[in-house]
Structure 1
Amino acid sequence: MNIGIYIYDNAEVLDFSGPFEVLSTAKRLEDNNWNIFLVAEECRIIQARGGFPVQPHFTFDSHPDIDILIVVGGVHTEEVKNSNVVSWVSQVASKSQRVLSVCTGAFILAEANLLNGLTVTTHWEDIADLKADYPALNVVTDRRWVSDGKYITSGGISAGIDMSLHLVTELANLDLAESTANQMEYQWQKCT
């Protein structure tokens, strides 16, 4: 199973590193066939928030098929204006089994018209903007993550860890998710 995490300049570090840690820890504990990787638009060092440099594993033109797509948040305003990004997300999402967003990654999914009519969430600070910019979405507050069909959206930053542990329960089982949280010494907030 190929799990691709989309990153870009000014992406929140924990938005991609949190899910990457959860999924790679679960893989290590169960020795499953998950292939977890970072994807960027171009082959170059990505400057995440705080100047954190990240080398993606693949680009839009070089990645394997993606079964699970995770779109992270951060300073997303340029991403939603980038037609190449929006088109790529839409195309990959149409073929993926699951599509997730962390924090303001929901804006990118919404811009790709993937969330219309669905119940979603994002970082508390961006709830009003998501509602105003994408009125076809049912945006809810005070939820760590929301699952609606094949889409799962999460609140801000650390909520992506909780959402990813929930994903582990869907891909494997609750025992593996709990073992993963324990291995990470993380207090999993199981309630959405």
Structure 2
Amino acid sequence: MSCLNVGILLFDDVELLDFAGPYEVFSVAADRQQPPPFKVFTVARQNWPVRSVNGLTVNADYHFSNCPTIDLLVIPGGNGMRQEITRPDVVEWVRERASLARHVMSVCSGARLLAAAGLLKGQSATTHHEVVDELARQAPDATIIAGARFIESGKIFSSAGISAGIDLSLYLVAKLCGNDVATDSARYMEYDWRHRHAG
């Protein structure tokens, strides 16, 4: 498999583990394989630090104007998602990047941004248990599945809240690189991954 660029969107009031969990999984998988199957980076709309929902400040690797090609687009959630779905430039950037990506992944309420970009039409998806009804109203032409750890629907992958993004990331590592690579990554992380399957 050729090296895939994994681009993780950041924004103010992003949920910390929503992006840090996938970042860790794909980075560990890359570090423990030769040649590395992933190159992981973060991207934000602005060229200044992003503040997470719990106060951690992060400098994104890229911003919208200089971001390289993204093969696997990761959209985390968090309280700031309510603002992001109202930003036309963010919605259009996600729509454009998703159209070019091989795989698109949301964590938690990040699914709302996929809905805003029209990416959930005719798809199945899940999200944080507190956001299920809201997402169903926002994406009436999608099948929103409450209680699923994560869902695979074509090239769209979505997970439930926060820690579920780790399980989905490991599932994608297994799908793209093989189960042994995912198992090795989980073992290194000392994460109790039980080879969960998509809903």
Q: What's the TM-score, normalizing by structure 1?
A: 0.98
How far residue 191 of structure 1 moved from its aligned partner, in angstroms, is: 3.5
Q: For the Cα contact (< 8 Å) 2:29–2:37, is it kept in 1? A: no
CA-atom RMSD in angstroms: 0.8
**1:161 is aligned to 2:170:** no
What residue number does 1:130 align with?
Answer: 135
**1:174 is aligned to 2:179:** yes
What residue number does 1:68 align with?
Answer: 72
How far residue 33 of structure 1 moved from its aligned partner, in angstroms, is: 4.2
**What SS does the corresponding residue of 1:50 show, helix, strand or coil?**
coil
Equivalent of residue 99 in structure 1, options 99, 104, 107: 104
**1:6 is aligned to 2:44:** no
Which aligned runs of 4 or more in structure 1 are off by greater than 6 angstroms?
none
Write the distance in 1 (CA, Å) between the matches of 2:104 and 2:31.
Answer: 23
Write the distance in 2 (CA, Å) between the matches of 1:12 and 1:134.
Answer: 22
**What SS does the corresponding residue of 2:66 show, helix, strand or coil?**
coil
**What SS does the corresponding residue of 2:67 show, helix, strand or coil?**
coil
**1:151 is aligned to 2:156:** yes
Equivalent of residue 23 in structure 2, options 3, 20, 23: 20
**1:119 is aligned to 2:124:** yes
Write the distance in 2 (CA, Å) between the matches of 1:47 and 1:130.
Answer: 24
> Quick check: 29-38 or 168-177, which moved more?
29-38
What residue number does 2:190 align with?
Answer: 185
How far residue 170 of structure 1 moved from its aligned partner, in angstroms, is: 1.6
Write the distance in 2 (CA, Å) between the matches of 1:155 and 1:86.
Answer: 21
Write the distance in 2 (CA, Å) between the matches of 1:127 and 1:93.
Answer: 22
**1:82 is aligned to 2:84:** no
**What SS does the corresponding residue of 2:187 show, helix, strand or coil?**
helix
**What SS does the corresponding residue of 2:51 show, helix, strand or coil?**
strand
Count matched residues: 192
Structure 1, gaps ≥5 residues long: none
Amino acid at match of 1:73: G
How far residue 124 of structure 1 moved from its aligned partner, in angstroms, is: 0.5
> Quick check: 4-13 or 33-42, which moved more?
33-42
CA deviations on 1:30-68 (whole Å, 9 max, x unpaired) are: 131421000000111000111110000000111111111
> Quick check: 22-31 or 86-95, which moved more?
22-31
Amino acid at match of 2:124: T
Write the distance in 2 (CA, Å) between the matches of 1:115 and 1:134.
Answer: 7
Identity of paired residues, percent? 39
Amino acid at match of 1:182: R
Write the distance in 1 (CA, Å) between the matches of 2:9 and 2:167.
Answer: 18
Write the distance in 2 (CA, Å) between the matches of 1:35 and 1:94.
Answer: 20
